[in-house]
Structure 1
């Protein structure tokens, strides 16, 4: 369990891409939310480069970190490539397809809770569109 107060944690988010040779697009995210106690949690959201939205949640769970990345494009059938990084190292990667009703997909993983601040980065791409979410927990 982290010893720092949830309000002192730094939370950052960026969405970046290079579409058709244009300069990278950087979008600020909405504020993160944190709660105290054993179930510390940070939720961060933002816009992707071409209209989709992303959400990244990190919380403690039995001494580990539970990470959930989500992309919502409102279009079913899109196969997004995604990568989950933890302190710079790839923890997981794969491809997920947006589902019929919501046009979204979710990726959930449990990772080790390292000493100090854990930097979690969720990146997803589809047809030139990029979503990048970052949480420092």
Structure 2
């Protein structure tokens, strides 16, 4: 390889590396802006809270997994301290879990999204600042 070929190949590789490094993360996946938090509840169950953007809104998914089917839980989604939605859900037979999905307004600045579920004194609570 002569010197000009070596320099040309080096510049081409540097250009390719710069292009790959400049590609936005969302170009490949679509869920790259998702924030997921998980934790344990007060008496054995686990919670998961996911928040991501979707068509200018925030998609919120709250999940409780107790590994026990047929349990009824009361749940609440709060957005910046205000109740966005609430309801009840029952864990399903196969997984012993339930999931709640809602879309909420994406306010200017940081959005504090909280998911809370309660059953027989057991409390599950997760927060995502998005």
Tell me the TM-score normalized by structure 1.
0.73
Query: Which runs of 5 or more structure 2 residues have no equivalent in the other structure?
Result: 1-23
Residue in structure 2 matched with residue 15 of structure 1 by the alignment? none
1:36 offset after TM fit, Å? 4.5
Paired residue total: 103
Residue in structure 2 matched with residue 97 of structure 1 by the alignment? 90
Structure of higher RCO (CA pairs closer than 8 Å, 6+ residues apart): 1
CA-to-partner distance for each residue in 1:3-58, whole Å, 9 max, x for gaps? xxxxxxxxxxxxxxxxxxxxxxxxxxxxxxxx953641100000000000000000
Specify which of 125, 132, 135 is matched with residue 128 of structure 2.
135
- Cα distance in 2 for partners of 1:36, 1:87 equals 28
Instruction: Check if 1:58 corresponds to 2:76.
Output: no
Residue in structure 2 matched with residue 70 of structure 1 by the alignment? 63
- Cα distance in 1 for partners of 2:39, 2:68 equals 17
Runs of 4+ in 1 over 4 A off after TM superposition: none
Q: Flag the structure with higher helix content.
A: 2
- Cα distance in 2 for partners of 1:36, 1:129 equals 39
The structure with more radius of gyration: 2
Query: Which runs of 5 or more structure 1 residues have no equivalent in the other structure?
Result: 1-34
Tell me the TM-score normalized by structure 2.
0.77
Residue in structure 2 matched with residue 44 of structure 1 by the alignment? 37
> What is the RMSD of the two structures over their aligned residues, measured on CA atoms?
1.4
Specify which of 106, 111, 114 is matched with residue 104 of structure 2.
111
